[in-house]
């Protein structure tokens, strides 16, 4: 008696399921059809293999793989399916399994409805033609679906099955998002920890210690049918956060209200491999939803991530990178300054040296060796001096007195913004005047003496305007975060040690020069954010 394996498949979920974990009604009908066929032909049913909601293009279906494995173990010698297309829609798999592997294993394949029977050598060409037709059908369907999806993406409609972590799908419009306050709070916490100097790995540990569910577990706890194979194997099983997950959250533009879709595409409709799409081909919708993170924070983090490389074991048990991570570079070659060894007897201090010099063993650049504590103390003093100088200028002293005495600080901020716009307009006008001077000189409308006299005047005016602009920016940027001017002055002039927040607010880059052997002096050049 032949031993038959029944293979059932449905490519999409039916609406007539009693429960989401039940087989669809169509799969049940397939089972009845194949069981009846087996009994009528006196076949013993060796097993039933059912793949519901799986495409016939791929052979990584769970029960399909089990079927092939059991076939190699000799558990059956006949495979029954409703049609050849239920078994596979891929021409390559028709040849591989029906015409190669199964004959070698002594397995006969029968399509009950379409009459496919590998024991009948005469219908091999029909099987091949049927395989091609099935594949063409999948190709056409794939192209049609892609065209519909692209149209929706152009219209700013979100086509993903689940909203990104931090959001929920809007119940009134499935193409929009609404903020999930709990998950959004976790996202804000991740950004805050990163800005505070914590490494990505340390952030993962903090989230785990506070028993915050990772995105995969959180979505499943909400009752969503979310699948993530890698997370299920490790993160979801052991309640761990992945560094990759945290990095994606820190770089996801969704959190500033921007919807970016079409960032990757499948190489082929027959292959699940995806490839990145150039950014200019993305479908981007601005202001698609309410942001979780403000633009300044997002791009500050992006800038820090592009520069931050080296962590510091000496800081907070290795949880935080040092204050100037990603901001130190050699003044001569432009490479990063890296840690090169600790200072004897001082566990919180270490030496920094040029990365290129270190790698080339001094052949390409000199070491520029300097102690971290020297850089820290120099930067602290210069920030205090810079802030005091700005806050104590006559231009702002009267305004500060008014604020401290109770004047509406919102009005003052409004005035400063107006003043900034006027200054920027004046700078643009000055630049335009300089451009016109060069054109007049090239056209011989003015002589060289007049040109150089006027250009000197305009350059001095532009320099003065830029200094004025920087002074306004430095105060309003800091004052915008504080309602109490006394706290503002206190925070940025009367501290004993630097913090990541202060460094990130003020410092763009620090260049370390080589030490002068005759004088012992070493230049530290600071490039300010403002």
Distance CA 13, CA 209 (A): 39
Provide the 10 A C-beta neighbour count for residue 513. Answer: 15
Torsion of the alpha carbons at 465, 467, 469 and 473, rounded to the nearest 10? 180
pLDDT tens figures, 474-487 = 666 655 544 444 45
Distance CA 322, CA 174 (A): 44
Pair 333, 356: CB distance under 8 Å = yes
Mean pLDDT of 57-74: 92
Query: Residue 105 in 3-state DSSP?
Result: helix
Mean pLDDT of 506-523: 87
509, burial (CB in 10 Å: exposed 0-12, middle 13-18, buried 19+): middle
Q: Which helix (H) or strand (E) holds 277?
A: none
| Candidate from 87-91, 330-334, 491-495 with smallest mean pLDDT | 491-495
Nearest CA to 189 out of 210, 170, 164, 168 is that of 210
Distance CA 233, CA 214 (A): 13
Is the predicted pLDDT of residue 140 greater than 80, yes or no? no
Is the predicted pLDDT of residue 135 greater than 70, yes or no? yes
Mean pLDDT of 390-397: 56
pLDDT tens figures, 89-110 = 888 888 899 989 999 999 999 9
Residues in the chain, how many? 530
Distance CA 29, CA 40 (A): 17
CATH class of the domain whose range is 3-149: alpha beta
What are the boundaries of each domain within the chain? 3-149, 167-307
Q: Could you confirm whether domain 167-307 is CATH 3.30.460?
A: no
pLDDT (0 to 100) of residue 448: 80
Q: What angle do CA 227, 56, 112 make, to 5 degrees?
A: 130
Query: Residue 456 in 3-state DSSP?
Result: helix
Give the phi and the psi of residue 436 in degrees, each rounded to 5.
-65, -35
Q: Which helix (H) or strand (E) holds 346?
A: strand 346-354
| Candidate from 159-168, 261-270, 328-337 with smallest mean pLDDT | 261-270
| Candidate from 241-255, 363-377, 390-404 with smallest mean pLDDT | 390-404
pTM: 0.55
Q: What is the token pair recorded at 350?
A: 């270490």
β-strand partners of 47: 5
194, burial (CB in 10 Å: exposed 0-12, middle 13-18, buried 19+): buried
| Candidate from 22-36, 116-130, 332-346, 382-396 with smallest mean pLDDT | 382-396
Nearest CA to 192 out of 256, 257, 250, 245 is that of 250
Q: What is the token pair recorded at 128?
A: 């091949």
Distances (CA, A) of 16 to 12, 13, 449: 12, 9, 90
Q: What is the token pair recorded at 185?
A: 């709070």
Distances (CA, A) of 470 to 401, 416, 464: 21, 12, 10
Q: What is the token pair recorded at 62?
A: 């769970």
Query: Residue 52 in 3-state DSSP?
Result: strand
Provide the 10 A C-beta neighbour count for residue 314. Answer: 18
Distance CA 213, CA 168 (A): 16
Of all residues in the chain, what percent carry a pLDDT higher than 90? 23
Which DSSP symbol is given to 140?
H
pLDDT (0 to 100) of residue 108: 94
Torsion of the alpha carbons at 106, 112, 113 and 119, rounded to the nearest 10? 30
Calculate the average pLDDT of the chain. Answer: 80
Of all residues in the chain, what percent carry a pLDDT higher than 70? 82
Distance CA 177, CA 156 (A): 12
pLDDT (0 to 100) of residue 189: 94
Is the predicted pLDDT of residue 510 greater than 80, yes or no? yes
Q: What angle do CA 424, 426, 429 make, to 5 degrees?
A: 110
pLDDT (0 to 100) of residue 495: 62
Pair 279, 258: CB distance under 8 Å = no
């Amino acid at each position: 008696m032949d031993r038959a394996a029944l293979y059932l498949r449905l490519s999409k979920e039916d609406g007539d399921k009693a429960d989401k974990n039940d087989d669809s009604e169509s799969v049940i009908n397939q089972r009845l059809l194949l069981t009846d066929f087996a009994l009528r032909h006196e076949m013993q049913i060796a097993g039933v293999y059912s793949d519901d909601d799986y495409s016939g293009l791929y052979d990584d279906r769970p029960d399909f793989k089990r079927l092939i494995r059991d076939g190699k173990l000799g558990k059956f010698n006949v495979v029954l399916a409703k049609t050849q297309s239920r078994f596979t829609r891929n021409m390559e798999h028709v040849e591989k399994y029906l015409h190669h592997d199964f004959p070698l294993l002594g397995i006969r394949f029968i399509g009950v409805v379409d009459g496919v029977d590998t024991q009948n050598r005469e219908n091999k060409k029909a099987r091949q033609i049927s395989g091609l037709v099935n594949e063409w059908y999948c190709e056409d369907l794939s192209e049609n679906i892609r065209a519909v999806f692209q149209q929706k993406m152009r219209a700013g409609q979100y086509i993903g099955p689940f909203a990104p972590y931090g959001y929920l799908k809007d119940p009134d419009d499935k193409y929009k998002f609404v903020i999930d306050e709990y998950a959004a709070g976790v996202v804000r916490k991740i950004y805050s920890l990163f800005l505070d100097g914590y490494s990505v790995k340390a952030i993962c540990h903090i989230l785990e210690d506070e028993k915050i569910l990772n995105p995969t577990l959180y979505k499943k706890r909400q009752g969503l049918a979310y699948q993530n194979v890698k997370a299920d194997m490790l993160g979801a099983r052991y309640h761990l956060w992945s560094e990759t997950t945290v990095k994606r959250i820190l770089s996801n533009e969704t959190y500033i209200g921007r919807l970016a879709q079409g960032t990757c595409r499948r190489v082929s409709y027959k292959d699940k491999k995806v490839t990145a799409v150039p950014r200019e081909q993305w479908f981007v919708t601005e202001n698609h939803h309410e942001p979780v993170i403000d633009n300044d924070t997002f791009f500050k983090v992006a800038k820090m991530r592009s520069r931050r490389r080296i962590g510091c074991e000496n800081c907070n048990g290795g949880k935080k990178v040092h204050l100037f991570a990603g901001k130190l570079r050699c003044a001569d070659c432009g490479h990063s300054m890296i840690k090169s060894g600790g200072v004897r007897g001082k566990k919180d201090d270490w030496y920094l040296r040029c990365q290129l010099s270190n790698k080339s063993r001094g052949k390409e650049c000199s070491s520029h060796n300097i102690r971290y504590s020297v850089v820290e103390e120099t930067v602290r003093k210069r920030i205090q001096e810079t802030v005091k100088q700005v806050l104590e200028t006559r231009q702002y002293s009267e305004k500060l007195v008014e604020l401290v005495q109770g004047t509406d600080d919102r009005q003052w901020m409004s005035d400063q913004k107006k003043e900034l716009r006027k200054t920027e307009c004046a700078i643009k006008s000055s630049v335009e005047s300089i451009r016109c001077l060069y054109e007049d000189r090239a056209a011989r409308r003015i002589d060289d003496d007049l040109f150089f006299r006027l250009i000197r005047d305009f350059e001095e005016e532009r320099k003065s305007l830029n200094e004025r602009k920087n002074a306004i920016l430095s105060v309003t940027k800091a004052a915008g975060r504080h309602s109490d001017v006394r706290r503002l002055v206190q925070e940025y002039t009367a501290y004993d040690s630097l913090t990541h927040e202060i460094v990130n607010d003020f410092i763009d880059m620090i260049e370390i020069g080589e030490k002068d052997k005759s004088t012992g002096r070493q230049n530290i050049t600071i490039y300010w954010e403002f």
